[in-house]
Structure 1
Amino acid sequence: MQPTIYDVAKKAGVSIATVSKVINNNGRIGKDTRKKVLKIMEELNYHPSVLASGLTRKRTETIGVLIPDLANPFFAEITASMEERAHELGLSVVICSTNDSEEKEAKYISLLMRKKVDGCILASRFTQVSLIENMIKQGIPVALTSQDIPSLNLNTVSVDDYKGGYQATAHLASLGHKKIATIAEKNVRSSHERIKGYMDAMIEKGLAVEDTYIVEVEPTVKGGKEAAERLLTSEDPPTAIFAGNDILAIGVSQGARACQLEIPNDFSVVGFDNTLLATICDPPLTTIAQPIQQIGRQIVDVLVSEINGELDYKQRIMLPPELVVRESTKKLFENKVSIKTTIEK
């Protein structure tokens, strides 16, 4: 016989109303009480009926998450964090990977609306603002992370991209590098902020900002590698590169090796995100850490608060990045010979 809400309330020593509030994540419930009820639910293997809940409260206890690429370690990690937090709150998650395709954006938004999700988190680089506006008109709360759409008043949780770009560049400058380039993801607002941070750090340190040292590419290993090779075989090659994410940084490292450069003795590289890639590559990558777990959990909490009608205003939460120094950066000695610029065949 399947356990009921009455069994949970009896064993936890609380009222049925209290159990209901824990299940639906509403009302004022003490942290210890909530934890106790959730533990009893797990012990009894009790699962509230999503269908019944939806019929009585017009909710499905489901949220949608749209990301650009699940193969990207950053989005894989942040999605896992969102899913974990949603599970703790008794919610199911529908994950949709758009691959930056407008067709897929429209398809998945339509799917999520048919499923009557209670809310939606957009981590994808959404290009069709009208689709988001339609969701909002239909009364579906929408929250953003890893991006911002200034024309829409939405709850947002992100990292301070400008500060991260500044920190990465300032770190390289502190090591004596004067010729610092940046390779960023193109057509993304967060990348533009990181480039602004790079430029301001260069100016503040009295270093020249060369147009040729600012390159925007697709966010792939291949894109980073090819861009690095072009820079390193130019007439005035940089001695260090700030890459806009860890994937690009891996590509930059491959490009440097193709030019017969040893990292960090001949050349330094800094990434952005601090994904698993940064710790397993050789050498381990100096990078700007985003608080990925915190972002994922907090965006779910903000969305759920809006779903529950607990917010009187939209929140734009910006979390601080942190420089993590590993082995891909090293002090540049003034008497160092010019770097090699021959690509291995």
Structure 2
Amino acid sequence: MNIYDIAKKAGVSPATVSRVINNKPNISDRTYQKVQAVLKENNYIPNAIARGLVSNSMNLIGIIVDDIRNLYRSHIIYELSQLLNQHRYNTIIFDFGNQDNDLFNSLQQQQLDALIFIGSSFSTPYVTDYISKYYPATPVMMFNGLLDLPNAYSVICDEAAGMELIVEHLYRTGKKNFVYVNYSENLASQRKLAGFCKKLEEYGLAFDESRLITTTGDFEGGRDAAARLLQYSIPCDALVCGLDLIAMGAMYSLKYFGYSIPGDIAITGFDNIIYGKLSDPFLTSVDSNHKEMARVAIENLLGALRKEEAEKVVYVRPFLFCGGTS
């Protein structure tokens, strides 16, 4: 069955069927649904490559992530993919981390309508130069990252505000001896640390390098942070961690050595991933509001694809989830 047969069954012109298949605008919902019903009834699957050649668009958006094993990243990918699917876009996922050469080679093999980079780790001169050279006119969305390019847009969690919420909450519960566990030098971790320090300063609480522990951003990193906290006898009644997994690792070790959480030491994380609900007690954490971030990101990206004016940078405010660790 070809496009002319579909048009005859649907009672529309072949041109209308073509517009439906290629997701063109200015088609009424009634006509769109009628044509789609005939397509589905007859198991008509248009050739994506041929369709792309005709429309100069594959309706394909590349999502680039630095580590798909990261549960927070996986949730973001899911939200973005669901929203794009509602607008008849397919997604292809690239998991690269720091493998810049692979990124260069693999993206070049695809005909992509837009790119979405997840994470501030992609806010690098390499990615900036790469986009400038190979995708200068392609809309690029930075999810929690920044690129200074005319075709790049950003939606960013206001992590500094999130950390201020954490410090305010802990201060109001009587905590005074804060220790911060950092995990990276990327933009996201810098914003978190800046918000943490700003709020401590507002409350007149001391903070220096002796109260900053830097480790890896995983469960083992949290255990390492707890070990150093105990080894160097750092006075602490509030351990503020840059990620949930770090907080959970630290809590595991501190409880193992007999500390009461939050009686002796309050512990907080950041991202509010599901693992925090598997701990006992539930982990207090900052929720980045990633569903709202995804909604804003796709709304602005689709606007850019339609050649409409879109906001270059949007900050989304996170919120505090108060568990039992604080």
Q: Do they fold alike, i.e. is TM over 0.5? A: yes
Displacement after TM superposition at 1:64 (Å): 1.0
Distance (whole Å) between structure 1 residues aligned to residue 217 and residue 8 of structure 2:
51
Displacement after TM superposition at 1:71 (Å): 1.0
2:176 to 175, 178, 192: 178
Displacement after TM superposition at 1:265 (Å): 2.3
Task: Tell me if the contact between 1:9 and 1:19 (Cα under 8 Å) persists in the aligned partners.
Answer: no
The DSSP-based 3-state class of the residue aligned with 2:175 is coil
What corresponds to 1:117 in structure 2? 112
Task: Tell me if the contact between 2:9 and 2:38 (Cα under 8 Å) persists in the aligned partners.
Answer: no
Cα distance change on mapping 1:57 and 1:234 into 2, 3 Å: same
Task: Tell me if the contact between 2:61 and 2:114 (Cα under 8 Å) persists in the aligned partners.
Answer: yes
Task: Tell me if the contact between 2:159 and 2:288 (Cα under 8 Å) persists in the aligned partners.
Answer: no
Displacement after TM superposition at 1:34 (Å): 8.9
- Count of residues paired in the alignment: 320
Displacement after TM superposition at 1:40 (Å): 3.5
Displacement after TM superposition at 1:19 (Å): 6.2
Unaligned runs of at least 5 residues, structure 2: none
Percent of pairs identical after alignment? 24
Cα distance change on mapping 1:5 and 1:131 into 2, 3 Å: farther
Distance (whole Å) between structure 2 residues aligned to residue 240 and residue 160 of structure 1:
22
Task: Tell me if the contact between 1:67 and 1:122 (Cα under 8 Å) persists in the aligned partners.
Answer: yes
Task: Tell me if the contact between 1:145 and 1:157 (Cα under 8 Å) persists in the aligned partners.
Answer: yes
Distance (whole Å) between structure 2 residues aligned to residue 50 and residue 80 of structure 1:
23
Task: Tell me if the contact between 2:244 and 2:269 (Cα under 8 Å) persists in the aligned partners.
Answer: yes
Displacement after TM superposition at 1:36 (Å): 4.4
Task: Tell me if the contact between 2:267 and 2:325 (Cα under 8 Å) persists in the aligned partners.
Answer: yes
What corresponds to 2:226 in structure 1? 228
Displacement after TM superposition at 1:21 (Å): 5.5
Are residues 1:107 and 2:102 paired? yes
Partner amino acid, structure 1, of 2:132: E
What corresponds to 1:201 in structure 2? 199
Cα distance change on mapping 1:232 and 1:47 into 2, 3 Å: farther
What corresponds to 2:146 in structure 1? 148
What corresponds to 2:314 in structure 1? 317
Question: Which moves more between the two structures, 36-45 or 67-76?
Answer: 36-45
Cα distance change on mapping 1:82 and 1:17 into 2, 3 Å: farther
Are residues 1:67 and 2:65 paired? yes
What corresponds to 1:327 in structure 2? 324
Partner amino acid, structure 1, of 2:284: T
Displacement after TM superposition at 1:106 (Å): 2.7
RMSD across aligned positions (CA): 2.8
1:305 to 296, 303, 306: 303
What corresponds to 2:275 in structure 1? 277
Equivalences for 1:41-56 in 2 at 5 Å?
Answer: 44=41, 45-56=43-54
Partner amino acid, structure 2, of 1:105: D
What corresponds to 1:339 in structure 2? none
Question: Which moves more between the two structures, 213-222 or 271-280?
Answer: 213-222
Cα distance change on mapping 1:235 and 1:135 into 2, 3 Å: same
Distance (whole Å) between structure 2 residues aligned to residue 9 and residue 218 of structure 1:
62
Distance (whole Å) between structure 1 residues aligned to residue 35 and residue 215 of structure 2:
47
Unaligned runs of at least 5 residues, structure 1: 330-345
Displacement after TM superposition at 1:175 (Å): 0.8
Q: C-alpha deviations, 1:219-266, integer Å up to 9, x for none?
A: 111112212221233233211111112122212212322432122222
Are residues 1:132 and 2:131 paired? yes
TM-score calculated relative to the size of structure 1: 0.82
Q: C-alpha deviations, 1:178-203, integer Å up to 9, x for none?
A: 01111122121011111111111111
Partner amino acid, structure 2, of 1:132: I
Displacement after TM superposition at 1:6 (Å): 6.9
Displacement after TM superposition at 1:284 (Å): 1.2
What corresponds to 2:95 in structure 1? 97
Distance (whole Å) between structure 1 residues aligned to residue 169 and residue 4 of structure 2:
56
Cα distance change on mapping 1:63 and 1:233 into 2, 3 Å: same
